[in-house]
Amino acid sequence: MNFNESIEKRRTFGIISHPDAGKTTLTEKLLLFGGAIQSAGAVKNNKIKKTATSDFMEIEKQRGISVATSVMAFAYRNKQINILDTPGHKDFAEDTFRTLTAVDSVILVIDVASGVESQTEKLMEVCRMRNTPVIIFINKMDRDGKEAFDLLDELEQSLDIKVRPLTWPIGMGDRFQGVYNIYQKGLNLFSANKTKIAEDVYAVNDIHDKELDEIVGEEPAEELREELEMVEGVYDAFDREAYLSGEVAPVFFGSAVNNFGVKELLDTFCEISPAPRGRVTDLRPIDPYENKFSGFVFKIHANLDPKHRDRIAFLRVVSGTFERNKFYQHIRLDKKMKFPNPTSFMAQDKSVIDQAYPGDVIGLYDTGNFKIGDTLTEGEKMMFKGIPSFSPEIFQELENLDPMKSKQLDKGIRQLIDEGVAQLFIQQPGNRKIVGTVGQLQFEVINYRLINEYGAKCRFVPRNYFKACWITTDNEEQLETFKKAKHSLLATDKDDNLVFLAETTFLLQMAERDYPDITFHKTSEFMLDK
C-alpha cells in the first residue's frame, strides 16, 4: 500500500458527550463491531463492577466516569479507525478540548431523555471553531424520552447546526423495535443483547411493501411511513460536502448498550467521514500528504502502567511518515530525539509500531521532555497552533502529611501537572504548593492518584483566590515595586514564570490600574510565543 492510500484509509475521530449519555458504552460497542474486542461489559452496573475497555484508571472504575482520554485503534471495512474517547465530566473539559485538536471529525452522543445539556453546547462550540464535521448519535432509544422531531429541533436551535436524519427509530421505550436506515434503505431489528453482536437485517427497498407490516406490525409500519415522509419533506437531502465543512450533522438513532443502531452508524461513518486533515502552524499550513514528518503532542499521561511508572506523550501525526528509531527535531527544546518504542493503543494495551501515518495517534515514552503543544518535525522550525490552555477557577493548597514521602509527593504532583489537568504554583517561603483547576473533581482524582500511584500521603486545603495571572513587563522598576507590595500573593509556576494570585476581581482591577506597565495574562497561552 502506498503512502497516499495509507492516509486515505485512516479515520481519526473523537467521541464526546455530556456525562451519562452513553459515550463510553458506544465506544465499546464500536470496538465490538470492529472485532477489536469479543464481548462487552455493562459500564454502569455498579453491582457487578464491570467497566468499559476505555476506562482503565482505577478511579474511573470506582466512579463509573471517564476522566482521561483513551485512544483505541482497530481495522474495519478496509479503514484504519482511531477512536479518542474523551472525558464527559465538565471538570475535565480541558482534556476534551485539547483532544478535539487531534481529531478530524466527531461523534456527539445525546441521551434521548435529557437532550442537549450545557456541556454539550460547550463541546459543540469547540467543534464549530474548527469546522469539525459532527455526526450525532441519539442514544437510549429503548427508554422513554423526547419525541424524535422535537429532539431534532432542539439540536438545531441549541447547537446552531443543521441536522439530517440518516436512520429513523421504530418506536421508543418498550415499543422500540429497531431502526430504519434511510441512507442505505434497510431495516435493522435487533434483540436486546448487551454483550455480543446479534442482528436480523432486512433489506426493505420499498417501505410501502406489505412485508414491512408483517415484520414490525401494521401500526408501527404505518407510523414509520408517515414519519419518513415528514423527514423527506422537512430536511434537505444529505450533502456530504456540507457535512465535511461542519454545516450539517447527520443523525443516527439507537441504543448503544443493546447494540441497536451502532452498525449503521459505523458503516456510514466509514463511508462519509473525512480522511486525515492538515493543521496550521505559526509558519504555514501543513498538508497531510507532505513527505516530511510532523506532529504535535496533545496529551501526556503518567503511570499508564503503574507497575512501570511510565509516562507517555500522545502525539498526532500530521504529515509524512513517522519511523521508529529515526531522529526528529523537538522544536521547543531545539534538540534531536529518537524513539525506540513508539506504541499504538487499545486503551491500556500497547504494542510497539515501526511506522505511523497522518491521522494516527502514537504514544512516545517520555522522561520529561514533552509538554502539551510540543511539535516534532524532520527539522523545519515551526509550532502547531491552537492547543488550548486554561485559566484555573478553583485553588487548593497541597499539604504533605508524611515528611518522609516528600520526594514522592513532589515527583507525583509535577508529573500529574504535566498531563495538563491542573496548574501548579509554588509560593515562598516554605515551598507551598498551590494547585489550580477548573473543577472540584480534578482535586479528588489528583489526590487519589498521588496516594495510590506515588505512595504520597497528602490532602488538599481550599484557598480563596479568584484568578492566577501570569506577569510580563519591560519595566523592571515597576515590577520590583509590585513584588514588594504583593509578595504574599506571588508564586511561580512549574516553569518558574512569575504568577500573581489575585484574591478578588476588585484587587485584580486595582493591580492593573496601579501597575499599568505590567501585563496580567489570564491564561498561560502567551508562553507559546516566548
pLDDT of 54-79, one tens digit each?
444 554 445 444 434 467 888 898 99
170: Cβ–Cβ under 8 A, 6 or more apart, which residues?
Answer: 176, 177, 178, 179, 180, 187, 216, 220, 224
**Domain identity same for 34 and 121:** yes
CB burial class (10 A; 0-12, 13-18, 19+) of residue 101? Answer: buried
**Domain identity same for 502 and 410:** yes
Give per-residue pLDDT as tens, 246-265: 999 999 999 988 888 888 89
Q: Is residue 384 part of a domain?
A: no
As beta bridge partners, residue 37 has none
Give yes or no for residue 18 having a pLDDT over 90: no
**Domain identity same for 212 and 334:** no
CB burial class (10 A; 0-12, 13-18, 19+) of residue 179? Answer: buried
* Rounded average pLDDT over 376-399: 86
Give per-residue pLDDT as tens, 430-446: 889 999 887 787 788 88
Distance CA 99, CA 87 (A): 10
**Domain identity same for 363 and 304:** yes
pLDDT grade for 429, boundaries at 50, 70 and 90: confident
**Domain identity same for 70 and 156:** yes
**Domain identity same for 175 and 250:** yes
Q: Is residue 124 part of a domain?
A: yes
Q: Is residue 382 part of a domain?
A: no
Distance CA 266, CA 15 (A): 12
Distance of alpha carbon 255 from its chain centroid, rounded?
22
Grid cell listed for 126: 469547540
**Domain identity same for 230 and 368:** no
Q: Is residue 383 part of a domain?
A: no
CB burial class (10 A; 0-12, 13-18, 19+) of residue 428? Answer: exposed
Q: Is 432 helix (H, G, I), strand (E, B) or coil?
A: strand
pLDDT grade for 191, boundaries at 50, 70 and 90: low
Q: Is residue 487 part of a domain?
A: yes
Who has greater pLDDT, 171 or 48?
A: 171
- Please give the helix or strand (H or E) that residue 369 lies within, else none: none
Distance of alpha carbon 512 from its chain centroid, rounded?
36
Q: Which amino acid is at 525?
A: E
Cβ neighbours around 431 below 10 Å, total = 10
- The segment with the largest mean pLDDT, out of 33-42, 170-179, 346-355, is 170-179
**Domain identity same for 167 and 316:** no
**Domain identity same for 148 and 104:** yes
Distance CA 179, CA 255 (A): 10
- Whose cell is 497531510? That residue is 288
Task: Note whether 359 and 392 are within 8 A (CB).
Answer: no
CB burial class (10 A; 0-12, 13-18, 19+) of residue 295? Answer: buried
pLDDT of amino acid 335: 95
pLDDT of amino acid 140: 94
403: Cβ–Cβ under 8 A, 6 or more apart, which residues?
Answer: none
Distance CA 515, CA 524 (A): 20
Domain boundary among 347, 377, 407: 377
Residue by residue, DSSP assigns 380-449 as ----B---------EEEEEEES-GGGHHHHHHHHHHHHHTTS-EEEEETTTTEEEEEESSHHHHHHHHHH
Domain boundary among 350, 377, 404: 377
Mean pLDDT of the chain: 84
Q: Is 484 helix (H, G, I), strand (E, B) or coil?
A: helix
What are the b/e assignments for 250-263, b being 16+ CB within 10 Å? bbbbbbbbbbbbbb
pLDDT grade for 306, boundaries at 50, 70 and 90: low
* Rounded average pLDDT over 148-158: 96
Task: Note whether 139 and 24 are within 8 A (CB).
Answer: no
Task: Note whether 31 and 81 are within 8 A (CB).
Answer: no
Task: Note whether 459 and 499 are within 8 A (CB).
Answer: no
Give per-residue pLDDT as tens, 368-381: 888 888 999 999 99
Distance of alpha carbon 495 from its chain centroid, rounded?
26
Q: Is residue 261 part of a domain?
A: yes
**Domain identity same for 331 and 474:** no
Distance of alpha carbon 520 from its chain centroid, rounded?
30
**Domain identity same for 56 and 196:** yes
* Rounded average pLDDT over 277-284: 94
Task: Note whether 239 and 248 are within 8 A (CB).
Answer: yes
Distance CA 179, CA 261 (A): 6
**Domain identity same for 283 and 267:** no
What are the b/e assignments for 14-41, b being 16+ CB within 10 Å? bbbbbbbbbbbbbbbbbbbbbebbeebb
Domain count, the chain: 3
**3-state DSSP percent of the chain in helix, strand and coil, to 5:** 30, 30, 40
Q: Is 377 helix (H, G, I), strand (E, B) or coil?
A: strand
Domain boundary among 377, 410, 438: 377
- Alpha helices, DSSP H only, in 195-345? 211-216, 218-234, 240-244, 262-272
CATH of the domain at 436: 3.30.70.3280
Query: 499 lies in which domain range?
Result: 394-529
Q: Is residue 385 part of a domain?
A: no
* Rounded average pLDDT over 476-488: 94
Instruction: Count how many residues are written for the chain.
Output: 530
Distance CA 282, CA 385 (A): 6
CATH of the domain at 146: 3.40.50.300
pLDDT of amino acid 438: 74
Q: Is residue 434 part of a domain?
A: yes
Residue by residue, DSSP assigns 42-91 as PTT-TTTT---TT--SHHHHHHTS--S-EEEEEEETTEEEEEEE---SGG
